[in-house]
Amino acid sequence: MIYNHNIIQRQYDEIIAPNFDIDAKGIYASTYQKGIIQLQNTNLILSKTPLQVLDIGIGTGSFLEQIALLREGEVSPFGMDISEKMLDIAKKKIPNLRTIVDDATNLEKHYANRSFDLICSHFVTGFVPMRELAPKVWNLLDEGAYWSLIGQTMASYPNLRKIEDSLVSKLIYWVSGNSKLDYDVVSSPEGHSEVIEILEENDFEVCQIETFEPKIDFANLDDFLDFGYYNGWLTPFIEKLGIHKASKMLSLMINILLFPIHDNQSIEIALARKITK
């Protein structure tokens, strides 16, 4: 069982799109920078013009915008996303962006007559399993073309998980009337090795890969909600928990008993190349 796509679409359209570019703890920006460095280590940025690039789950388009800047506009940019509101923001950053609003699991229904030099999919493998995405991406790439894949793995947030199992959390679940979280809704890979395994199983050569483990400190519930709920990192979980609507009494209790929280994410940043089967 994975995320219900209608719920994700609503959350991105209504809650996350207006806040996404605030990038509450700067983790998106740091990650894009690392992804861009991987691209700069190849001949892709200097290669033939214009570069055909598809970003799957493009969001507000910040990564593709940076590629377009590096290429001084010599890019043919395509973006697909389930959220129209995220795409609206991307279109303002990348004027000639051609967009499709659809679920990435339908990728093969689009771009039938196209192939790409680069496909990006960043922070979408939590919603669309990497194993499902990999063969579809492979089919749309030219031989030797690249897949820039960035995503969190299940190794993220070890301390939040510990807290979730604690007695304090059980008390909060009881007071708030909500039930324990179900991690089966997330399709993220387990960790570094599984990312490599899936890439290789699907005829990709892993050119570069690094694990980025930024530390994150949450001072209090509001700080946590800015990052986790409004910025999109944990919106489906928080909405299920209901703590974004906590009463003053419950907020006070959560702040006293649970915060501050120190944790880290675990993000795989990979650049892989299509090899012939």
Ligand X SMILES: C[S@@+](CC[C@H](N)C(=O)[O-])C[C@H]1O[C@@H](n2cnc3c(N)ncnc32)[C@H](O)[C@@H]1O
Of the candidates 232, 241, 236, 189, the residue with the CA atom closest to the CA atom of residue 5: 236
Whether residue 50 is preceded by a cis peptide bond, meaning omega within 30 degrees of 0, is: yes
Instruction: Please count the residues of the chain.
Output: 277
Which residue bears the tokens 């290789």? 200
CB of 2 closer than 8 Å to CB of 183: no
C-alpha span between 221 and 228 (Å, rounded): 10
Of the candidates 87, 81, 92, the residue with the CA atom closest to the CA atom of residue 60: 87
Which residue's Cβ lies closest to ligand X?
Answer: 59
Q: How far is the CB of 252 from ligand X (least distance, A)?
A: 31
- Name which of 23 and 200 has its Cβ closer to ligand X: 23
Residue type at 200 in one-letter notation: E
Q: How far is the CB of 81 from ligand X (least distance, A)?
A: 5
- Name which of 169 and 187 has its Cβ closer to ligand X: 187
Which residue bears the tokens 């897949």? 147
**Structure tokens given for 90:** 């991307």
Q: How far is the CB of 58 from ligand X (least distance, A)?
A: 6
- Name which of 86 and 160 has its Cβ closer to ligand X: 86
Q: Give 84's Cβ-side CA count (13 Å radius).
A: 2
- Name which of 230 and 246 has its Cβ closer to ligand X: 230
**Structure tokens given for 105:** 């699991």
Which residue bears the tokens 């928080």? 238
Q: How far is the CB of 257 from ligand X (least distance, A)?
A: 29
- Name which of 5 and 110 has its Cβ closer to ligand X: 5
- Name which of 148 and 202 has its Cβ closer to ligand X: 148
Q: How far is the CB of 116 from ligand X (least distance, A)?
A: 16
Q: How far is the CB of 18 from ligand X (least distance, A)?
A: 13
C-alpha span between 160 and 62 (Å, rounded): 28
- Name which of 58 and 261 has its Cβ closer to ligand X: 58
Query: Which residues in this chain contact ligand X in the complex, by CB under 6 A?
Result: 5, 8, 12, 28, 57-59, 62-63, 81-83, 86, 103-104, 122-124, 127-128, 232
Q: How far is the CB of 110 from ligand X (least distance, A)?
A: 11
CB of 271 closer than 8 Å to CB of 204: no
